[in-house]
Structure 1
């Protein structure tokens, strides 16, 4: 009984911090979402309007477009990071000259602030001074201008996110690969299993929890990305890179529509939880069914 009290006492500061900076702000945003509120307008008071803010979302073309582009961005970015991160983790498992140096260089993007990443990529892609447009024009005759080409702007935001966050995926999967026992792989080698069979039936099932956790983290980050894309494209051209985080920012700050912006935030949180749950069920349920059959 005493140990339980000591445990709760030790957890109390963490619980207080989580409640203060997590639960309380969420409850406040949920409360604001049911009101019409422009604190800088002629009438700065909150006006209760029920579910009107949520009703607006269904017919808001800008919101639906932002959701669609955000889902595309998250899919291509996260999928690419997991694939590239796994390949790099397998590479770093092998002994080769300068492995420690390349590991260090590979993890450097993680220590750079997102707003700095966006600024650097903005300089790299500016047509007049950027090194990327220069070499694309010199080698392939392609004139890169993300201020006019919507497809190029979208692709560059994905590449920027991959460059920034693939090291996190690599480190996570590398730790998972290093911790794997050697006996199953030795047995598979004795049985004459191919590399693909070893990967599909041994490596992938054993590192699935690490992949699941990594995808969860990266999916939630990709769905709320703001500063990198804001610095690189500003959400343009048009609405090609106006992802949902940028859309919320523009609704809340330039338009000062706090009620509607809060409603969008609540819906985005709900959609994020739903997608993570679907992903969890898709990855874990087949494994659970296999265990029950034996």
Structure 2
């Protein structure tokens, strides 16, 4: 059984990080400031060798690395994929990352894998299933994992708990930490017509091991209401920066990641976003 008091816990600096992209390899080595740590997506580094792993080894000698999973399907109804989990363990064993995280979502059904992170109803039955999956992951990896709040586009009638309540219950039951994606909060609050600041007020901030920021796209639903899409394909919007400042005033400084996964910009543009994050952290009480 996973012992959260003895297993390795996340150990990232309270400073800006960015999602690593191979086209930025030389830039990061030559002039990384203000970036102090990097995140990779686990599924991109589960091979047996080649340039990607060689570059990752080199970077890991200079920077703390966070591994972010997108394929475990923690919220799925079926059992976790044991082969996928074994490959993840192999990656974490040799890389020894400073942090590991996954999403509160599901992305597989039986033998089908879906190219999306899908939402869950927040019920006692879901809580039992997700907690069992988190226990299994932490047992296999021998480390605490962080669980990320999702971006939502709909709500389930059958839910009996608030999302913040559900996440807090998972952390208390399993000993996992939480990854607070502030852009996801803003996206979900807009789409579901909720109060983003009230969500932050209700969030178990004492469990947060990382904070994420990313860009979103604006659209409208069939009724003409605003619809935000968590795209990670542009700069962070000003209202999300404002929500970050509100969050940091309550949480204190945390490791802060800038996510930019599609339409990836040049290094100076990405570094400028990280610099804005550094300023936000510097003004944290």
Q: TM-score, normalised by structure 2?
A: 0.23
- Give the TM-score, by structure 1 length: 0.22
- Which is richer in strand? 2
Structure exhibiting the larger radius of gyration computed from Cα positions: 1
